Amino acid sequence: MSTTAGEQRVAVVTGASSGIGEATARELARRGWHLVLLARREDRLRTVAEELGAEWELCDVGDRAAVDRVASTVLERHPRLGLLVNNAGVPGRGRFVDVDPETIERVMRINYFGGIWCLRAFLPGLQAHGDAHVVNVVSVAGTISFAPAGPYSASKHAQLAFSRSTAAALAGTGVRVHSVLPGFVETEGFPQRAVLQSRLMRRFVIDAPRVAEAVADAVDKGRREVTVPWFPYRFVSLAQALTPGLVARFIGMSRQRGEP
């Protein structure tokens, strides 16, 4: 990404108090970005921000009014933003036929609507920059239907459609949109190694810093859509459309402990 000599590169990262968001903040700081970190947990967020010399704001991205207020505050300090990382997300385990309605609504509000509200609110600063980026941290769950995590999968399908749509809508405006699709990632909110039954699938669980590198590389190398790791997830994503029956049997191997 090109910048004027001496210009500070400013990035906003949501869900930055832990997991992929925290790892992404650390990786971007290592690459010279000045950070504005958003999350809901003040104690964790403040600690990370202080370690990185970053700014921070409390924000629930599922609350559109709160996002607008925080964006207005941030844009007063930084009217030109180089990067927005829409990372905030929550798990949504359960089947649509019996999961409680509140879980479905919460997962969609944060995982899907949260990215939309953040993009709309911070877009003036991104457009003012003229060579800015948006990275939506989606999931391979956005390309593969997984019954035991129905609400989460649906929210990620919607988020990927949003990301691809805005990539086309903003083409030529100076704002480039990237989608990063991690597979199973071990984080505080997603303890994959503890819940996956299949030894094979546990071999493909990765850690948050690897996703953080993919996020930063998507910006630095202009990668529009990245699956990490590529194997086996990209293969399964492509196979979903071609051989859905085979994929259904394959993902059955990744059932979580305690699930039917």
**In a domain? residue 1:** no
121 within some domain: yes
What digits encode the pLDDT tens for the residues 160-172?
Answer: 999 999 999 999 9
Contact 69, 76 (CB under 8 A): no
135-153 pLDDT, tens digit per residue, is 999 998 888 877 777 899 9
Residue 2 has pLDDT above 50, yes or no: no
Share of the chain above pLDDT 90, in %: 67
- B/e letters for 96-117, b = 16+ CB within 10 Å, e = fewer, are eeebeeebbebbbbbbbbbbbb
| pLDDT band, very low/low/confident/very high, at 3 (cuts 50, 70, 90) | very low
Q: Is residue 253 part of a domain?
A: no
Identify the band that residue 204 occupies on the pLDDT scale cut at 50, 70 and 90: low
Q: Is it the case that residue 249 has pLDDT exceeding 90?
A: no
pLDDT computed for residue 256 by the predictor: 47
| Cα 117-118-122 angle, rounded to 5 deg | 120
Q: What is the CATH classification number for the domain harbouring 88?
A: 3.40.50.720
Active site residues: 152
- Is 12's pLDDT higher than 50? yes
Query: Residue 192: what pLDDT?
Result: 53
Q: Please give the tally of structural domains in the chain.
A: 1
What's the domain range around 80? 10-190+204-236
Integer-rounded Cα Rg, in Å, for the chain is 18
Q: Which of 3-12, 86-95, 123-132 has the highest mean pLDDT?
A: 123-132
Higher local confidence (pLDDT), 201 or 155:
155
Report which of 84, 59, 85 is spatially closest to residue 73, judged by C-alpha positions. 59
Q: Would the pLDDT of 259 be above 60? A: no
Asked if residue 4 is part of any domain, the answer here is no
- Assess if residue 96 is contained within a domain: yes
Determine the pLDDT at residue 189: 57
Q: Residue 95 above 50 pLDDT?
A: yes
Q: Is 199 contained in some domain?
A: no
In this prediction, residue 207 carries a pLDDT of 82
| pLDDT, average across residues 186-207 | 56
3 beta partners: none
- What pLDDT sits at residue 195? 54
